[in-house]
Every structure is written in structure tokens, then in C-alpha cells.
Amino acid sequence: MNSAFHRFVDNIVQQTDAPLDEKEDLYEELLVHLELSYAALLREGYSEQEAECKAMASFGDEKQIGSQIQQAMFPYRKQMLLALVIASLLFSFAVYISQLVVEGDALITWLLLSVSVSVCLLVFSLQPISFLNRRAWINSLLLIHLFIYLLGVGFASSVDAAIAAPLTFLAWGILLLTIALVYRTTIFDYRTRKQKLKKQVMILHALNITWGIFITSATLFFLWAFLAFSTGEFNPRILLFLLPLLIWIIAYIVQIILLSKEKKKSAYMVALLPFIVVLALLFWWFGGIIR
């Protein structure tokens, strides 16, 4: 067993976001190709060391190969992430400078949060980190990014009217691209050998992501409305607006666990829970307004 070949192939495979079973197949396939090339070079009269070096050199640079395989598996995802990061950074600094110049004050905390998330997305899109599940981290960062830039839409609309229009347009473009990437990385880039469950998993992911976007947006809106009309004192009722978000997160996790155990009906029943909670809260909210 050639340890240099194993290291070489491992460096290639670790740059992909493929699931473990596909990584194992890719690893074996690349290793077989290297060993066949190595054996052919030995038959041609090269020494073991020369054959080893030539076999790896014929493959090319491992980082470039890994990047090409990743691009073939998930076309244009890297470019979409880079476009999102560039647009997000431009928007963040434009909003901050506009608030600072026009209003004389700006939200440095929001700027730091938005820039930090964008930089993290940039790192994960460019540099593979072998000991982390890059797909899961990118998904998590995209959801955080979506939440931060939903707030950014409000900040953009609060500056001078001449500046607000292009900034708001850019903000909505960033949100749409973020949502497209969330759907893509979670649903369309989903890969599994369990073909029987693949359709069910994709449906539940699509349903939950749509619910998550709706619930997050509604939560921010109702929190803003509640705080706008409050007296400034803490009211425990405000925590009720966070309840759908919490239930959605828990229900999402439970659905995936149930589906992994092939309990499809139970998973779909749990998927209805956030919908029921949101309806109950809406009846409570509008009932209170009518009374």
C-alpha cells in the first residue's frame, strides 16, 4: 500500500462536498488509476520512486483536480457564492457609510455581523476544511446571512431616498440569491444512494425551507410591530412570537430523524405542526386587535 498515493488521493477527495459513500467510491477509483499507472511505469523500466512521482505528476496538482471534481459535481455553486459575498460586502459598507454620512450615526454591530458572515461564506467557498462538513456549514451560514440581510432591507430603506432605492434593490437581490443558494445546497445538491427516500427528503427539505423563510420573515415583522407600539417595558408576550421559529427548528430535525427511520407518514404529520402553530398565533393576534 503506497502511503504517498493515499495522501495524494485524500487531498483530492477532501476538497469535495460529496457524501461519505461517494467519497469512498471516488477515493477507491482514483487510487486504482494511480496504482495501474504506477504498475505500467514499473514495467517500462522506471524505478519505484520514479514511477511513483510520474504517476502522481500525470494526474496533475491535487488541489486543482479536487476543485475540478467539485465543480463537476456542483456546477456554478462556487461562482454563485462568490457573487453573493461580493454583493453582500458592497451592500454592508454602502449602508454603513450612508447611515454615517446622512444620519451621523450607524449600526456598527450589524456591519460587523454582516461582514463576518460574508467572510465566513467566502472562506468556505474557496478553501476546503477537511474536518468540517462544509455543506452543513454553508447551509447554516446562508440561513444566518438571510436573517441578517432581512434586517438590512430595513436599514437600507431608512437612509436618504436617493440612496435608499438602489440599496433596497441590491438588498432584495442579495436575499433572492441567498434563498436560491439555500434551496440549491439543501435540495438540488442533495445526493444519496437511498433512492427510495430521496424524493421524500427533497420534498420535506423544500417544504421546511419555505416555511423557515416565511416564519423568519413573519417573526421579524411582528417583533418590529410589537416593539414599535410597546411602552418600552419588557412584556413576556413578546416571547410568543419566537415560538413558531423554535417549533419549526425542532419539527425540522424530528422530520429528518423520522424519515431516516422510514416513517414517512409521521414525518409529514410533524411537518404540519409549524403551520398549525402559526395559524393559532395569527388568530390570537388578530383576535386581540379586533377586541
pLDDT in tens, 23-33: 888 888 888 88
Q: Of 38, 54, 69, which residue is a domain's last? A: 69
- 99 and 34, same structural domain? no
Which residue in this structure is represented by grid cell 460586502?
Answer: 89
Q: How far apart are CA 201 and CA 187, in angstroms?
A: 8
Which residue in this structure is represented by grid cell 476546503?
Answer: 128
Answer yes or no: is pLDDT of 160 > 60: yes
pLDDT at 91: 93
Q: Of 69, 90, 122, which residue is a domain's last? A: 69
- 83 and 60, same structural domain? no
Q: Which of 176, 130, 134, 120 is nearest to 153 (CA)?
A: 176
Supply 103's cell numbers.
Answer: 444620519
Contacts of 92 (CB under 8 A, 6+ apart): 111, 114, 115, 118, 152
- 131 and 161, same structural domain? yes
Instruction: Please report how the helices 20-43 and 48-59 are oriented relative to each other, as an axis angle in degrees rounded to 10.
Output: 130
| Maximum Cα–Cα distance across the chain | 93
Q: Of 69, 91, 119, which residue is a domain's last? A: 69
- As a whole-number percent, the residues of the chain with pLDDT over 70 amount to 83
Q: In this predicted model, which residue has the larger pLDDT, 242 or 145?
A: 145
- 123 and 102, same structural domain? yes
Q: How far apart are CA 88 and CA 6, in angstroms?
A: 39
- 127 and 50, same structural domain? no
- 211 and 139, same structural domain? no
Tell me the pTM: 0.70
Alpha helices in 158-291 (DSSP H): 161-183, 195-228, 243-260, 264-271, 273-290
- With b for 16 or more beta-carbon neighbours within 10 A and e for fewer, the 81-100 pattern comes to beebbebbeebbebbbebbe
pLDDT at 118: 92
Q: How far apart are CA 269 and CA 266, in angstroms?
A: 5
Lowest mean pLDDT among 37-46, 223-232, 239-248: 223-232
Asked whether the beta carbons of 129 and 103 are under 8 A apart, the reply is: no
- 242 and 284, same structural domain? yes
Query: How does pLDDT run across 147-156, given as a tens digit for each residue?
Result: 888 888 878 8
**Average pLDDT of the residues in 119-123:** 89
Range of the domain at 113: 75-189
DSSP structural state of residue 232: S
Q: How far apart are CA 74 and CA 202, in angstroms?
A: 17
Q: How far apart are CA 272 and CA 49, in angstroms?
A: 62
What is the count of structural domains for the chain? 3
Burial (Cβ within 10 Å: 0-12, 13-18, ≥19) of residue 259: buried
Q: How far apart are CA 263 and CA 58, in angstroms?
A: 49
Q: Is 230 helix (H, G, I), strand (E, B) or coil?
A: coil
- 288 and 202, same structural domain? yes
Query: How does pLDDT run across 68-120, given as a tens digit for each residue?
Result: 888 888 888 888 999 999 999 999 998 888 888 777 777 788 888 899 999 98
